[in-house]
Amino acid sequence: MNATDAASINGAQALVRILEAYDVRYVFGVPGDTSVPLYQALYERRDAIRHILARDERSAGFMADVYARLSHRPGVCECPSGAGALYSAPGIAEANASSIPILLFTSGVSLSGEGKGTITEMDHHVFFESISKWSNFLKLAVKIPETVRRAFRVATSGCPGAVHLAFPTETVVGRIPVDQVSLHAEPECKTYPSMRFRGSPDAITRVARHLTEAKRPVLIVGGGANHSQARSAVLALAERINAPVVTTISGQGIMPDQHSLALGVIGDNGYHPHAMRAVEEGDVLLYVGCKLGSVSTVRWTLPSERPGRKILQVDINPRIIGNNYTVEDAVVGDARLVLEDILTELGKGSRPDAEGWIEHLNRSRHQFWAKAAAVLAGDETPLSPQRVIGSLNRIMCEPAVVIADAGTATPYVTRYLKLNHDRSRFIIPRAYGGLGYAIPGVAGAWLARPEARPVGLFGDGSMGMSCGELETLVRYRVPAVLIHFNNGSFGWIKTLQKIHSESRYLSVDFKALDMARVASAFGLRSFRVETPQQLESGLAAAFSGEEPCFIDVVTRPIEERIPPVYSWLKESGIEPLSEDPY
């Protein structure tokens, strides 16, 4: 090593060292031609930062997404140029639209090769602009420290989101004099949400007054409350004003399931009838960290327009406020801090149950679950998706992280899943609803929460898009329980074709293969399940071990009986608010 090398580091080394300063523990990614310098730098610091090799760049993004949701640290992923960047798009887009802080680093071709038809050349920073919170192109190695600090700041503060940085070859190999840059981290941005801010005191006073005057207040809680770690504040406010709490799918789990004020999930997908009634019958509705999007409002029909009803909103993002409904009053600020300030404004005391309304809602709730008991323990074959969830509820008593893919599993999981432990979490991608999330997601979950059992639920479509990550789970010894709903179709789309195309099915069916054998080939302990007895024994074996297990459940095609999707039931002439547990 000459004197010049001793007095300088290259751009890749600077990047890795500043990641180390931010206490980054894992970098998820896939190697490529353009990322060799970065991997050399990671190798030098392998005792501090562990690289997690995925089999697909999309999966690396999903791993980083779930890791960030559970650890409350920004997720970090990397990929090479060209196709690697293209494959990364689904994970980054999902995280950004779900307000999850991810940093993606893409390595590109040499600046000297721009415009010459160099293989894999593309404008990465332009490609990611529309699906990230910020996308930047670094042309100077010396700019890496300040730009990476800005990236952490942007990703974790305000409404969190995904940030992308593009590094051409000259940037990662360029020399940086060590006496000219600082590789320090900004401590507050090591976790999220960073730089929390309180809401306007006047707005908080007005919202508190509306809640005090309400006869039937309801809290509608979305994913933003989970991101803000507002669980305790939501519970305290609900008990203070004696208000039922309903959640969106992303807000599921914010309240203990057994609490008398926790009424369940609202919206189009996997809703609870009693939760829907609470929103429709409430006179003051406080939305917390909820976008009031198409699913949670059943395409903006819930709540219906009613004279005198007041809608209040708390959100970190001012663009969300009043976006879809006329809002009486709103507070822009961190959900946890705002709710704590509302509690302070309300003072002590509690509200009685006006007219026995909450008692009435709970009677409906108990009737629903009493009727659900039969289907959750049914013995018919092929097994129903509900039966699978029922068995999972009975065995899953220790802390767990349940990750469901979009599609077949969604309406059954959101309606019937019970988190029996206070430290359990439920995660599902709700921004774009892409398939292939759960299998890589359990790897990110285990790295963030090694004390909690990772559980993945997915259908045939998701399996086909991410089965390569089964090898990843074996390689890293992730003790995941994977439950595959095997019905030989794109079940969600097939049901839509039944409803809207008079059962004229096209390109939704494929062979219902024995996927347990596929999983076994990847090295997982696997079970083929066709009967209730096989389901119970397979789950018992999976949860008793410390190795990745795959349970291939032959399930009833969901189009045979319309799943609990409000709009589908209504279009099919079925009363959606019946307690009949579809």
Pairing between β-strand 75-79 and β-strand 50-53 as defined by DSSP bridges: unpaired
Q: Residue 560: which CATH number?
A: 3.40.50.970
- Give the integer Cα–Cα distance in Å for 503 and 119: 46
Q: With the CA atoms of 253, 254, 258 and 264 taken in that order, what torsion angle do they form, in degrees rounded to the nearest 10?
A: -70
Same domain, 245 and 293: yes
Residue 364 lies in a domain: no
Calculate the alpha carbon distances from 507 to 296, 491, 503, 511 in Å.
Answer: 29, 11, 12, 12
**Closest of 291, 170, 312 to residue 225, by C-alpha:** 291
Same domain, 517 and 497: yes
Number of C-alpha atoms within 13 angstroms, CB side, residue 457? 26
Same domain, 437 and 296: no
Same domain, 250 and 352: yes
- Give the integer Cα–Cα distance in Å for 537 and 559: 28
Sequence-ordered list of residues with C-beta below 8 angstroms from that of 143, at least 6 positions apart, any chain = none
- Give the integer Cα–Cα distance in Å for 47 and 14: 16
Number of C-alpha atoms within 13 angstroms, CB side, residue 328? 18
Last residue of a domain, one of 145, 170, 190: 190
Q: Residue 354: which CATH number?
A: 3.40.50.1220
Provide the phi-psi class of 401: left if phi over 0, else alpha when psi is between -120 and 50, else beta: beta
Query: What single DSSP character describes residue 200?
Result: P
Same domain, 473 and 347: no
Same domain, 139 and 13: yes
3-state secondary structure at position 255: coil
Per-residue b/e over 470-490, b at no fewer than 16 CB within 10 Å?
bebbbbeebbbbbbbbbbbbb
Residue 426 lies in a domain: yes
Same domain, 68 and 153: yes
Last residue of a domain, one of 327, 359, 391: 359
> Which regions of 75-188 does DSSP assign to beta strands (E)?
75-79, 102-107, 134-137, 162-167, 175-177
Instruction: Say if CB 542 and CB 481 are below 8 A apart.
Output: yes
Cis ω on the peptide bond leading into residue 382 (within 30° of 0)? yes
Same domain, 217 and 279: yes
What domain range includes position 333? Answer: 201-359
Same domain, 297 and 443: no
In which order are the strands placed within the sheet that holds 329-332? 262-265, 245-247, 217-221, 284-288, 310-315, 329-332
What is the secondary structure of 336-369 as a DSSP string? Answer: HHHHHHHHHHH-S-----GGGHHHHHHHHHHHHH
CB neighbours (10 Å) of residue 510?
Answer: 12
Residue 576 lies in a domain: no
Residue 579 lies in a domain: no
Same domain, 131 and 40: yes
Instruction: Say if CB 168 and CB 160 are below 8 A apart.
Output: no
User: For every one of its 582 residues, what pLDDT tens digit does the chain have, with 9 covering 90 and above?
Assistant: 454 566 899 999 999 999 999 999 999 999 999 999 999 999 999 999 999 999 999 999 999 999 999 999 999 999 999 999 999 999 999 999 999 999 999 998 888 888 888 888 899 999 999 999 999 999 999 999 999 999 999 999 999 999 999 999 999 999 999 888 899 999 999 999 999 999 999 999 999 999 999 999 999 999 999 999 999 999 999 999 999 999 999 999 999 999 999 999 999 999 999 999 999 999 999 999 999 999 999 999 999 999 999 999 999 999 999 999 999 999 999 999 999 999 999 988 777 877 899 999 999 999 999 999 999 999 999 999 999 999 999 999 999 999 999 888 899 999 999 998 999 999 999 999 889 999 999 999 999 999 999 999 999 999 999 999 999 999 999 999 999 999 999 999 999 999 999 999 999 999 889 999 999 999 999 999 999 999 999 999 999 999 999 999 999 999 999 999 999 999 999 999 876 666
* Number of separate domains in the chain: 3
Q: With the CA atoms of 446, 248, 487 and 559 taken in that order, what torsion angle do they form, in degrees rounded to the nearest 10?
A: 180
Residue 365 lies in a domain: no
Residue 62 lies in a domain: yes
Same domain, 384 and 352: no
CB neighbours (10 Å) of residue 307?
Answer: 4
Same domain, 153 and 209: no
Residue 34 lies in a domain: yes
Last residue of a domain, one of 359, 394, 413: 359
Alpha-carbon Rg of the chain, whole angstroms?
A: 25
Residue 162 lies in a domain: yes
